[in-house]
A and B are shown apart, each in its own frame.
Chain A
Amino acid sequence: MSKLCTLWRREIAAYFLSPIAYLVMVSFLVLTGFGFWMLVLAFDGHTNPVSVMQVFFGSFFYWIGMLMAVPVITMRLLAEEKRLGTIETLMTAPVSDAAVVWSKFLGAVTFFALLWLPTTAYSWILNQFASAPTPIDWGPVVLAYVGTLLVGMFYVSLGLLASSLTQNQIIAAIVGFVLVAIMFFLGFMMNIGPAWLQTFFGYIGSIEHIRDLARGQLDLRRVMLYVSVTVFVLFCTQKIVESRKWR
């Protein structure tokens, strides 16, 4: 456990020792901030059936931020270790492959969470500066953040899987983006194909999940879905890391 912690701390440090972290954070804030500003502008002066935050989660900018940020966060995780050769010093230290994979995952999820942290200010801003002060319903906002974290965990695990396949960070980013994008767009499939397929895709559509959470509907089955799928992808990643032993 202490080794997992050591590895996790190294992952966090690695993010902030490279300029990419700051670049990602700034770009992410510019993007989501711009989206938030546009929404506020659109909502201003009208009576609206839904709240700004409810629309924000599930908006175009929200998903663009999600889809672009995750592959950039995850691309270096294992690919860089392989390119530098540090995978050899890492794996010959007395740590298990599982600890390495989980620490990288947790490190990336921590950074992902830090990315979203400043956006919590949006709700506060609304509360403070809205022309006609409307009390914010904090429950759905908190739920939406929980959902963001769940979807983020799943996407990060996919990005980590992509990073375990190559020693080239660009390839890891592209493969990661493709995997994440496929998972995202599967949600749109709920309107085409035979009925049973539509039902199936309806279950796994992330857009729908986030929207429901932002409305305040918590479905524990969906929480379980994300947790179990994430664990499964991490398990696959661990097997890929172990594969050097039987290839």
Chain B
Amino acid sequence: MIAVENLTKKYAGVTAVDNVSFTVKRGEIVGFLGPNGAGKSTTMRILSAFMPATSGKVTVAGYDVFTQSEDVRRRIGYMPESNPLYLDMRVSEYLNYRAALKGVAGAKRKARTDEVLERCGLKDVRRRIVGQLSKGYRQRVGLADALVHDPDLLILDEPTIGLDPNQIRQVRQLIRDLGKRHTILLSTHILPEVEMTCNRVLIINKGRIVASDTPENLTKTLEGGGTVRAEIRGDRAAVERELRSLPGVKNVTFEPGGDDFIRATVFAPPRNDVRVHIYEKAAANKWTLRELSRVRQTLEDVFVSITRVEPSAPKQEEEK
């Protein structure tokens, strides 16, 4: 659906997107993550044919976004970052106008607008003026606009920004529903959302793609993916000595776990499951083992570890 090859975009000396390549297959819901200023919006603007790349080739549904721009624009529904709308129009008026602009034939227009009004939960406010709507409703109007011509591909730049938790939940559900029929590329800062809605995650940092995988794989491969927590009752010195001597263990931290238990966090590389070893040690030394579990890494940990500011910037080492 989307094929991006060696995409580079420079603004007056600043490289916003640096030699990026990726593909999105039909039917995928892809989450596009990255810190502010990483190049997400720029990439999305290029994909939606709003502005061209400095170099590189971008095709959407087989059409080149620069030379066959109108063919591309017919097939995408794009919702820009700030969700700009004409504030002086009524909701149904606006959607009808946008549908006409996107080439929905006059006879079908009413049905299409009604459908998106229904889908986006805008039926009750269809006669209201856009400028008087709350942020949540405006966001839905933006989504409805992106959907109104039934595009193959939806490009949504931070569709849930500024929404309250209930609204986020509704929009997330809507996106998941839409994913059944459309290909979706969405950017967001809300990482649990990506874990819940997306089949695949692209992480971009400083204009480069630094990770591209399913959320599960990303959390697995992360350094610290092999971290294990154990609560043990036994001689503190012995426990410490034995755990540190386990194969592959990089570090162990200890804290009181209550009831005479020691809560140990064992840092080991991924794919090196130390849980069995800990169990065997406990059995051999007759320690009481109360908990033995893998520490689940969230996408947030992945995101932070990949996009963290390099040591040149202020040092902020986490607990690790």
Residues of A within 8 A of B (CB): 2-3, 6-7, 10, 13-14, 17-18, 84-96, 244-246
Contact = CB atoms under 8 A, between A and B. Distances in A.
A2 B109 CA distance: 14
Given A3-B103, A10-B97, A88 B45 contact: yes
B87 A94 contact: no
11 contacts: A3-B101, A6-B97, A6-B100, A85-B80, A87-B84, A88-B80, A89-B98, A93-B73, A93-B101, A94-B102, A94-B103
Given A85-B84, A86-B85, A91 B50 contact: yes
Nearest to A246: B52
Interface of B: 45, 48-52, 70-71, 73-74, 76, 78, 80, 82, 84-89, 97-98, 100-103, 145
Given A85-B82, A92-B76, A245-B52, A14 B102 contact: no
Given A10-B97, A89-B78, A94 B70 contact: yes
A18 B98 CA distance: 20
Nearest to B98: A93
Given A89-B84, A94-B71, 5 more contacts: A13-B89, A14-B88, A85-B80, A88-B78, A90-B101
Nearest to A3: B101
A90 B50 CA distance: 9
B101 A7 contact: yes
Nearest to B78: A92
Contacts of B78: 88-89, 92
B139 to A, nearest CB: 14
Given A3-B103, A6-B100, A94-B74, A14 B86 contact: yes
A86 B51 CA distance: 15
A89 B103 CA distance: 14
Contacts of A6: 97, 100-101
Contacts of A95: 70, 101
A89 B145 contact: yes
Contacts of A3: 100-101, 103
A100 to B, nearest CB: 10
B88 A17 contact: yes
Contacts of A96: 70
A79 to B, nearest CB: 14
A35 B89 CA distance: 37
B51 A244 contact: yes
A84 B51 contact: no
Contact of B50 (A2, A7, A10, A88): A88
A91 B101 CA distance: 11
B11 to A, nearest CB: 8
Contacts of B86: 10, 14, 84, 86
Contact of B102 (A13, A87, A93, A246): A93
Contacts of A90: 101
Nearest to A13: B89
B84 A88 contact: yes
A244 to B, nearest CB: 6
A3 to B, nearest CB: 6
A3 B98 CA distance: 10
B84 to A, nearest CB: 3
A87 B86 CA distance: 10
A93 B48 CA distance: 9
B38 to A, nearest CB: 19
The 6 closest A-B pairs by CB, nearest first: A85-B84, A17-B88, A94-B73, A6-B100, A86-B84, A88-B80
Nearest to A14: B88
Nearest to A99: B101
A85 B45 CA distance: 13
A89 B80 contact: yes
A88 B49 CA distance: 10
B97 A92 contact: no
Contacts of B98: 89, 93
A102 to B, nearest CB: 14
